[in-house]
Amino acid sequence: MDSIASTIDHQKKEEIRIRFLKVDTSNVADVLDNLGYPNQGLAAEFSPFPATADRLAGWAYTIRGQMTPFPLGGDPEKMMACQGISPGEVTVWSGDGEGICYFGELIAIGMKERGCVGSLVDGGIRDVRWIGQHEFPVFARYRTPIQSIGRWKVNAWQTPVFLRGATTSLVKIEPGDFILGDEDGVLTIPAAIVEQVLEEAERLTSIEVSIRAELSAGMTLAEALKKFGHV
């Protein structure tokens, strides 16, 4: 079955993505709570690599793998999976790998060439310095020099995946859901409510901008809260 995101044309999807880059995950998380989606946050271990990486915002392209001993020489399924990536997408890597990287600089370059705008990795990455120089934002659980070849193998892509959660053990991510990450952490937004969440997050952001301006002009916090309410 096609996702909600697949019914939106590319221009509209890119417009939504760019708008999300201007709102904070904190506001989006509050909106999700109010809409009855309290468990969309990912585990605190997910961090930007390098630490100076840009925000992560894009439509989920999912990739799944598992620890599987196999001969050295490459992982053709991983290469096949990456061939399907479209502009504006974030690759979401899931699986049971521990201590090994799911990809490094060269695959990051290949993904960026296809229009990929970043990666979310429930596992490890390597070549952190070089990935940073390519301005390719990655949020992952850890970094490691140990390659996946011979140890961890891709077995599916564009299928629902589960990543470690903040308030629940696992968070389900469907292809076409929206991924947003910044200094505070990472969220996944179900495709069916992406536009609703964005509009409300933009409203909250506008209120916060006004509050900061009033505080800078001398208004006390109590006065600001009385005028604008809790945000």
List, as residue ranges, the binding site for substrate: 104-107, 126
Dist CA 94 CA 88 (whole Å)? 19
Tokens (6 digits) for 56: 């992560």
Q: Which two tokens stand for residue 48?
A: 């930007």
> Regarding beta strands 161-164 and 170-173, do their DSSP bridges make them parallel or antiparallel, or are they unpaired?
antiparallel
Show binding-site residues for Mg(2+). Answer: 127
Residue ranges of the binding site: 104-107, 126-127
Cα distance between residue 39 and residue 229, in whole Å: 25
What DSSP state is assigned to residue 193? G
- Which two structure tokens, joined as six digits, stand for 37? 């989606």
Q: How many other CB atoms are there within 10 angstroms of residue 106's CB atom?
A: 11
